[in-house]
Structure 1
Amino acid sequence: MLDIIRTGLTDIRAGLGKRKIWMALAKEDVGDSLKRTRLGRLSLLLNYLLFVGTLLFVFGRNDPNYVIYLACGLLVWNFITDTITPSVTLFVGEEAFIKGTVLPLFVYVMRHTMRSTIRASYALIGAVGIVLYDKGVSTGWLYAVPGMVWIVLTAPAAATILGILGVLMPDLKFFVQNIMRLAFFLTPVFWYPTGGRLRDLLYDWNPFTHYVDIVRQPVISDTIPLHSWAICLALTALVWAIAILLLGLYRKKIVFLL
């Protein structure tokens, strides 16, 4: 067991040490995905604003905080789904690199995470603009920053787990895609947990809820959601533990399983 953990940690350490490689590849990925668009990276910002506007038009409420509630919820959710859904094919998509180089597997994980972070940064600009216009600057912004950082720190672990499972179970990508579509409606991104017992249960027992809340609640109420933070700390620790074990187990086997 110790050898497995040591192997996983060694790969992570080596991958983090290749920062220039995965940062350059991530920037190139974002640029390549937008090079045929007229608006370029601006389209990422407009996409987010249009999504917020559409949901606001459909589900708009009289609550003065609803715009911020929706904007912050979508910001976090878009990053989560942009990280999780493609993670299942992470190592499969990097097959040529993995078989042709000796780079640590964690390089590909960080490339994926950085790509999602860069894309989310444009949505963050839109979210900040919405909050500034609707509420202005408050101390809650400071409380929200650790939440955003924590979500980004959780992303590589989740991507590692799903990437390895995606190699072992190729059909998993279809299940994850459908689960994430369903999870969007089961997570309080655009609805409040005051519509009955079922909604309250979904709010309390949905892990995504708490990752959204550690960013959104400070901005809305200038308070730190300690309950959600406790859950997120425990979940992230668990996810990282599983990721390290899987990476240690399959680090040398992935190339033969692809």
Structure 2
Amino acid sequence: MMTGTPLTASPTLGAAEPILDLLPDAPARRAGQALNDLNASLHLWRLCWKLGWLDLKLRYRGSILGPFWLTASTGVMVGSMGVIYATLFKMNVRDYLPFLTLSLVIWGFIGGLVGDATTCFTQAAGMIRSMRMPFIVHAIRVVLRNLLVLAHNVVVILAVFAFFRVWPGINAVESLPALLLWLVDGIAACLLLGALGARYRDIGPVVASVMQIIFFITPIIWKPDLITHGRQYLMFNPFYDLIEIVRRPLLGGTPTVMLWSAALGFSLLFCTAASLLFMRVRARLAYWV
């Protein structure tokens, strides 16, 4: 009669005993895998850049102006909105139009990045299923794609600044660390919203609706100076903090220590949440897409 003894490989054959490990990964192991994913993605930065550039070319394939349609539409929007809102807010056009131009271009980058972040992994479903590639490559790809769009729209900012002879001077250098913080937050947004969007396809429309509300409650088309009472509560809006640390130096000002502290604090919380979620669901993304 056969017994219940498990069948093992004979040591004389030199074959290792097969082991099927069905236990969940330990947190330390998941963290190590996520760090390996990040390290491999950073080494593939050329691939990320090529994929982002290819996405932009395919989006405007067959178009005459290509991505410069975004530049033209941004210029028309700034020109039409600038005079109207300057009249409504009783502000000088020379002071208001550079602020509005810079704000709309910045918001276009943030809004486009957040919108693309919700489909970060689902749009790359074919690549995820067909080849072994670090997941963070797709997040960096989305960030670089929107960075290229931002570079096209910088032409509008330069044109408006040159027309009104508004130059930030040496203060513009202070916006470079803020832009670096944006890139880190952008990757975190892709990991967080991309994972949630892969699991729940309603995340995209929900995020789009929320971003519309945030656009109106954030100083984009109106200046923070218009709030005479309770202006300090703007600091609790993370979008205001992140926008202001870039916008204020480009307008010739200097961000306060409180503003930078709030921006770094919100970014730290956001990146921590994105890292924890990504470490937890990384092994399931290929099945969700």
Does 1:144 find its partner at 2:175? Answer: yes
Q: What is residue 36 of structure 2 aligned with on the other side? A: 10
Where do residues 124-135 of structure 1 align in structure 2 (5 Å cutoff)? 124-134=154-164, 135=166
CA distance in 2, matches of 1:133, 1:18: 41
- Checking the alignment, whether the CA contact within 8 Å between 1:218 and 1:224 is kept in structure 2 is yes
Task: Return 5+ residue gaps in structure 2 as ranges.
Answer: 1-26
Aligned residue in 2 for 1:171: 202
Offset of residue 24 of structure 1 = 0.8
Q: Equivalences for 1:80-229 in 2 at 5 Å?
A: 80-134=110-164, 135-196=166-227, 200=231, 203-229=234-260
Partner of 1:237: 268
Q: Deviations over 1:141-183 (max 9, x none)?
A: 1122222232122211111100001122211111101111111
In structure 1, stretches of 5+ residues that fail to align are none
How far did residue 201 of structure 1 move? 6.5
> Shift of the alpha carbon at 1:198?
7.9
**Alignment-mate amino acid for residue 43 of structure 2:** G
Offset at residue 51 of structure 1 (A): 2.1
Structure 1 Cα separation of the partners of residues 168 and 264 of structure 2: 27
Q: CA deviation at 1:218?
A: 1.5
TM-score w.r.t. the length of structure 1 is 0.92
Give how far 1:199 is off. 7.2
CA distance in 2, matches of 1:162, 1:87: 6
Greater helix share, structure number:
1
Across the two proteins, how many residue pairs are aligned to each other?
Answer: 258
Q: What's the secondary structure of 1:103's corresponding residue?
A: coil
Counting aligned pairs with the same residue, the percent is 22
Greater radius of gyration (CA) = 2
Larger RCO, structures 1/2 (Cα 8 Å, 6+ apart): 1
